Amino acid sequence: MAEAVRGVCGLELSEEQAAELVRAYRRALGETAATGEPAAGAPDGIIGESRVVLELLRKLEKVARAPAAVLVLGENGTGKELVARAVHRRSGRAAGPFVTQNCSAMPETLLDSALFGHVRGAFTGAVADRKGLFEAADGGTLFLDEVGEMSAALQVKLLRVLEDSTLVPVGSVEPRRVDVRVVAATNRDLGELVRQRRFREDLLHRLSVLTVELPPLRERPEDIALLVEHFRRQLGERDGRDRRFSEECLRRLSAYSWPGNVRELRHEVERLWVFSGDEGEIGPEQLSPEIAAAAPVAATRQKAGLHASVEALERQQIVEALRKTKGNRTHAAALLGVSRRNLIRKIARMGLGRT
């Protein structure tokens, strides 16, 4: 591991310095320093030592132990399914199944059958009874991604499962009982969808008993080198090559804003791995043009830190204004001295939703 740390950093380190970095990497990767095995206190695969990631890990430990539904909010590529799996693994349902479904991936009729099942003869082609994903997840967890895309009719059926743990398959009139914990995820502002009458308010209340907000990668640039090392190790184990990233390459990677978040970073690392040859160091000249042109890392991190502080204060003021006005955005905007449209954009960007 010490050699891997030297490789990814491109630095000459003493044994003591390398050992300390090994401990830091292992903490970030959820490993114990002694064995290299996943540690009990950190969800596997959630990489980072930044303040926001450590806060997320602490929150997940509490959320996992509770029995209620969970709503995971975050931009695309922030790892919502990864968090859902971590909640499942650390819950009392860990021995049960973990089942996933993207609610935007199929039309309403197919999604209805996929989630709730159907009986023979329910529609053309239904030649036999079929259990849905809720029954497949019985005793475990069902992860519903892009839940904001679900139709009004399916929202009613989902609400019924959440309220009384029963479902009715397509074409049947007989309810079936299931024991499933639902973890839902979205990058949409469900509160705004409620106001537009495109999402049920009672369903939102049921889904968001416990809410977890995932930080975008631009708010934790100090974790990028750790993520690069994690992906580098995975790729090296896959094809038997031992490559390293130059210090300047890591600086450019850490300076970029990553609008596609961790998913985009992984794709860039994989692209570099494939196209940079078999030997030697991966340098900045091999980066994608927009990443190679990123600002120097020191300036970027200083800007990111200032941005995070300003946004935290702004968020606090918005939450307080909405509390004082009982959620009335027009009055809250007047209280804050901004336009209603500007306030709505900020609420959506911050993922405040029902605040």
- Domain extent, residue 322, equals 298-350
- 144-174: pLDDT as tens digits: 999 999 999 999 999 999 999 999 888 887 8
What is the band of 138 on the pLDDT scale with cuts at 50, 70, 90? very high
What's the mean pLDDT in 226-237? Answer: 92
Residues 163, 165, 167, 173, CA torsion sign: negative
To the nearest whole percent, how much of the chain has pLDDT over 90?
A: 53
Single-letter amino acid, residue 96: G
Q: Are residues 228 and 306 in the same domain?
A: no
Q: Are residues 85 and 39 in the same domain?
A: no
- 332-348: pLDDT as tens digits: 888 888 888 888 878 87
Tokens read off for 90: 């650390």
CATH at 13: 1.10.8.60
d(CA 121, CA 127): 6
Domain count, the chain: 3
Q: pTM above 0.85?
A: no
CB 257, CB 218: distance < 8 Å: yes
- Find, among 182, 213, 221, 216, the residue nearest to 76 by Cα: 216
Tokens read off for 149: 């895309």
What is the band of 217 on the pLDDT scale with cuts at 50, 70, 90? very high
Q: Are residues 283 and 344 in the same domain?
A: no
Longest dimension (CA), the chain: 71
Q: Are residues 253 and 346 in the same domain?
A: no
User: What confidence score (pLDDT) does residue 86 get?
Assistant: 95
61 domain-assigned: no
What's the mean pLDDT in 255-264? Answer: 94
62 domain-assigned: no
User: What confidence score (pLDDT) does residue 118 get?
Assistant: 83
The residue that leads in pLDDT, 343 or 81, is: 81
User: What confidence score (pLDDT) does residue 332 get?
Assistant: 84
241 domain-assigned: yes
Q: What is the mean pLDDT of the chain?
A: 82
CATH at 120: 3.40.50.300
Tokens read off for 18: 């390398």
User: What confidence score (pLDDT) does residue 207 get?
Assistant: 96
190: Cβ contacts below 8 Å, ≥ 6 apart: 71, 148, 199, 204, 207, 208, 353, 354
Q: Are residues 97 and 233 in the same domain?
A: no
102 domain-assigned: yes
CATH at 332: 1.10.10
Q: Are residues 212 and 231 in the same domain?
A: no
Q: Are residues 173 and 248 in the same domain?
A: no
Question: Which of these three, 168, 198, 217, is where a domain ends?
Answer: 217
Asked if pLDDT for residue 14 goes beyond 60, the answer is: no
Q: Are residues 79 and 191 in the same domain?
A: yes
Question: Which of these three, 217, 251, 286, is where a domain ends?
Answer: 217
Question: Which of these three, 217, 247, 277, is where a domain ends?
Answer: 217
Q: Are residues 180 and 210 in the same domain?
A: yes
Asked if pLDDT for residue 123 goes beyond 80, the answer is: no
What is the band of 317 on the pLDDT scale with cuts at 50, 70, 90? confident
355 domain-assigned: no
Q: Are residues 23 and 138 in the same domain?
A: no
User: What confidence score (pLDDT) does residue 146 get?
Assistant: 96
CB 135, CB 172: distance < 8 Å: no
280 domain-assigned: yes
User: What confidence score (pLDDT) does residue 44 get?
Assistant: 56
Q: Are residues 198 and 252 in the same domain?
A: no
Q: Are residues 73 and 205 in the same domain?
A: yes
What's the mean pLDDT in 24-28? Answer: 41
